[in-house]
């Protein structure tokens, strides 16, 4: 009973936010050519066209409206409101309420209407483009990722699930570990330990300090950054702003960006 009451409380919050114009509400008639492109722990992601145009958007659905899911939707809505100003973070446009796989049904599930990243996840981008990437390109990828993560940290948000398939924990130093991992992926073009079975034994080894080895011909200053990010002692890890500053210094020295751009 308590769970149902909590769920209704979160749903009422969403309804009130829509009615007061805090978030724009979109009817299903605005979307066409619905295609499912992914799934996660809470729901599915769809690519859709805006009306009958060629402009693509993403719809993020949720599996059900249990107390936990409704609370997660509200949490994400609040986060999206706080971080919309940053260029390296996917834009949030509003809310819809329908079943993308059956638009004639009377579904009560909510969808988040978001910018569609046409290059896909970092994982897919690296898979398709890695052989053509220069180190200038790789530094730019790492810099954009760090800028986005810096924005989250500066807003008091810590993203514990940062990896190449996503492109919140309570401790920023712990979160820095997950910045080092995609840095290594950018240098290698693959996910860590991709040739091994990801089981409890591997997880235990990683928790005890096992790390991937640097890829040959990776710049030493880049290696130093990501290995410090995944240092076994969280207090020894740099802050996200220190990572951003060090990346910026490297990119200025190599003329990838200018000093004015960094500032």
Q: Which of 236, 111, 125, 133 is nearest to 180 (CA)?
A: 236
Domain CATH number, residue 240: 1.10.510.10
Are 88 and 153 part of one and the same domain?
no
Secondary structure of residue 113 in the 3-state scheme: strand
Instruction: Please provide residue 105's backbone torsions phi and psi, each rounded to the nearest 5 degrees.
Output: -75, 160
- Nearest-angstrom CA–CA distance, 228 and 225: 5
Domain boundary among 115, 135, 150: 115
Q: For residues 35 and 46, is the Cβ–Cβ distance under 8 A?
A: yes
Are 130 and 106 part of one and the same domain?
no
- Nearest-angstrom CA–CA distance, 128 and 83: 29
* Number of domains forming the structure of the chain: 2
Domain boundary among 82, 98, 115: 115
pLDDT at 49 over 90: yes
pLDDT at 213 over 90: yes
Q: For residues 113 and 92, is the Cβ–Cβ distance under 8 A?
A: yes
Residue 91 labeled ligand binder? no
Are 137 and 253 part of one and the same domain?
yes
pLDDT at 162: 39
Burial class (CB within 10 angstroms; exposed 0-12, middle 13-18, buried 19+) of 206? middle
Q: For residues 92 and 114, is the Cβ–Cβ distance under 8 A?
A: yes
Domain boundary among 115, 132, 164: 115
Are 61 and 178 part of one and the same domain?
no
Q: Which residue has the tokens 């810590």?
A: 158
Secondary structure of residue 206 in the 3-state scheme: helix
pLDDT at 238 over 90: yes
- For strands 92-96 and 25-26, give the pairing: parallel
Q: Which residue has the tokens 């040959």?
A: 216
The helix or strand, by DSSP H or E, that contains position 153, with its residue range, turns out to be helix 135-154
Are 12 and 87 part of one and the same domain?
yes
pLDDT at 83: 60
pLDDT at 2 over 80: no
Domain span at 152: 122-262
Burial class (CB within 10 angstroms; exposed 0-12, middle 13-18, buried 19+) of 139? buried
pLDDT at 121: 76
Half-sphere exposure of 148 (CA within 13 A, CB side): 18
Are 128 and 250 part of one and the same domain?
yes
pLDDT at 7: 66
Share of the chain above pLDDT 70, in %: 76
Are 77 and 137 part of one and the same domain?
no
Are 19 and 98 part of one and the same domain?
yes
Is 224 or 168 the better-scoring residue by pLDDT?
A: 224
pLDDT, one tens digit per residue, over 58-104 is 998 877 666 566 777 777 777 776 666 556 677 888 889 888 887 76
Are 257 and 127 part of one and the same domain?
yes
Is 26 or 158 the better-scoring residue by pLDDT?
A: 26
Are 53 and 130 part of one and the same domain?
no
The encoded tokens of residue 109 equal 């599930």
Domain CATH number, residue 109: 3.30.200.20
Q: For residues 69 and 52, is the Cβ–Cβ distance under 8 A?
A: no
Quick one: pLDDT band at residue 169, thresholds 50, 70, 90? Answer: very low
Share of the chain above pLDDT 90, in %: 37
pLDDT at 87: 67
pLDDT at 47 over 70: yes
Are 73 and 130 part of one and the same domain?
no
Are 67 and 155 part of one and the same domain?
no
pLDDT at 254 over 90: no
Quick one: pLDDT band at residue 109, thresholds 50, 70, 90? Answer: confident
pLDDT at 153: 57
């Amino acid at each position: 009973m308590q769970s149902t009451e909590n769920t209704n409380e979160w749903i009422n919050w969403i309804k009130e936010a829509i009615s007061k114009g805090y978030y724009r509400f979109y009817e299903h008639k605005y979307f066409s050519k619905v295609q499912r492109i992914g799934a996660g722990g809470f729901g599915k992601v769809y690519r859709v066209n805006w009306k009958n145009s060629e402009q693509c958007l993403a719809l993020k659905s949720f599996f059900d409206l249990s107390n936990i899911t409704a609370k997660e939707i509200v949490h994400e809505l609040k986060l999206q409101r706080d971080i919309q100003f940053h260029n390296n973070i996917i834009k949030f446009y509003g809310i819809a309420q329908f079943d993308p796989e059956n638009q004639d049904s009377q579904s009560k599930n909510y969808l988040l209407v978001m910018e569609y990243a046409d290059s896909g996840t970092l994982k897919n981008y690296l898979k398709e483009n890695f052989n053509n990437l220069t180190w200038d390109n790789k530094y730019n990828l790492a810099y954009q990722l760090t800028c986005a993560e810096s924005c989250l940290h500066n807003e008091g948000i810590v993203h514990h699930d940062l990896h190449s398939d996503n492109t919140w924990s309570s401790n920023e130093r712990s979160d820095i570990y997950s910045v080092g991992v995609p840095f290594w992926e950018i240098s290698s073009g693959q996910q860590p330990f991709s040739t091994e079975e990801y089981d409890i034994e591997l997880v235990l080894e990683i928790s005890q300090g096992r790390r991937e080895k640097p890829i040959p011909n990776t710049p030493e200053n880049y290696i130093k950054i990501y290995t410090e990010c995944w240092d076994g002692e969280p207090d020894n890890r740099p802050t996200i702003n220190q990572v951003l500053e060090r990346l910026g210094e490297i990119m200025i020295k190599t003329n990838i960006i200018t000093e004015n751009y960094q500032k």
